[in-house]
Amino acid sequence: MPEGLIAGFDAGQTHTTCRLATAAGGLVLAEGEGPGVCHLAAPGGEERFQDALQGALAAARGRLTECPASLPLVAAAVGASGIEQGSAVQERGQSLAARCLGLASGRTAVTGDERTALRGAFPDGPGIVVISGTGTIAVGRDGRGREHRCGGWGWLLDGAGAAMDIGRDGLALSLRMADGRRPDTPLRAALWDALGLDPADPGAPQRIKAQVVSPQFGPAGFARLAPVVHREAQAGDPEAEAILMRSALALAEMVAGVAAALHLDAPAVCGMGGALENLEGLRIRFARNLAGLVPQARLVVARGDACAGALALAVELAEAASAG
């Protein structure tokens, strides 16, 4: 195997992580972060994808201490939000990654971040991962290597259970409170305060409308409000509680869909993503709903994260290139 580095990327909508390892042996050496990505077909999607990979790689190289930062990259694998398996978008991502990382196409792999998360969590056997971050998706694998996914059809169509949906649903509800369709609760004031608005200002709803349509807001802007909804739910706000319960049920339903499709009666399930990892109330409610829908399911800790799954793919690429 040639001397050099391999890279595993976890490219999400809010940030991208690059983990560097030795091509020989896969010893992890450094990690760095860059900006997030959006769908490749979206305006500016290709530029954001390339900036994310190059920025994260540069940050990781800057943290190398065990070897020269100039050591060449020999293989890389990317798990990115919005990459559909077997699609033209995946092919385009593969081409872009190879070009911006300076690698031959046979030394790069680009797939959905849910696939690298599954590979990292369950490197040797069956299991299901459900990811709730800015977006959401569930994917699983059975003992024969068959995979199935549920959800993850984009924030405009299918974001139930994601931080984006939690924040958006809370903000939408706050506007219905403001115009008199729903009784006011502390949730409205908390959300408007988080947006830097005065809850007593009658012009605040118009300012919210202007904020959410700006290009800088997007799904991440809604996702940043999810902790506010969570905090109010934990404090007993009934409207916030209802939003959190809907999201938890949606996550459990995705796991149940994967388990049914793969005939996994007692699946090992791993919850991932910033929302499930950081919002305790969502995590607890998800576990309760999962117990009701898939009684034999076992919640487990991932053996590795999405970057670990990407590095495993990169090791295979490097080994194949060396053997060839």
* pLDDT one-digit tens code per residue, 233-254: 999 999 999 999 999 999 999 9
| Residue 146 to residue 144: CA distance in whole angstroms | 6
Residues 131 and 228: their CA atoms lie apart, in Å, by 20
Q: Are 136 and 252 in contact (CB under 8 A)?
A: no
- 293 shares a domain with 150: yes
Q: 149-168, pLDDT tens digit by residue?
A: 999 888 888 889 999 999 99
DSSP for residue 68: -
- pLDDT per residue as tens digits for the range 31-68: 999 999 988 888 899 999 999 999 999 999 999 987 77
The answer to whether 29 touches 69, Cβ cutoff 8 Å, is: no
Q: What is the CATH number of the domain that holds 203?
A: 3.30.420.40
Together in a domain, 77 and 220: no
Same-domain check for residues 24 and 94? yes
Quote the CA–CA distance of 47 and 49 in Å, as a whole number. 5
Residues 297 and 309 in one domain: no
- Are residues 211 and 100 both part of a single domain? no
DSSP secondary structure, 141-199, as one string: E-TTS-EEEE--S-TTT--TTSHHHHHHHHHHHHHHHHTTSS---HHHHHHHHHTT--T
Domain count, the chain: 2
Tokens read off for 88? 């033209």
pTM: predicted TM-score of the whole model, two decimal places: 0.86
Closest CA to 283 of 236, 238, 230: 230
- Residue 72 sits in the same domain as residue 94: yes
Strands 108-112 and 127-132: unpaired
Which 3 state secondary structure label does DSSP give 271?
Answer: strand
Return d(Cα 186, Cα 175) in angstroms, integer. 13
Domain of residue 164: give its range.
125-302
Provide the mean pLDDT of the chain. Answer: 93
Looking at this protein, which amino acid is placed at residue 196?
G
- Site of tokens 């860059």: 34
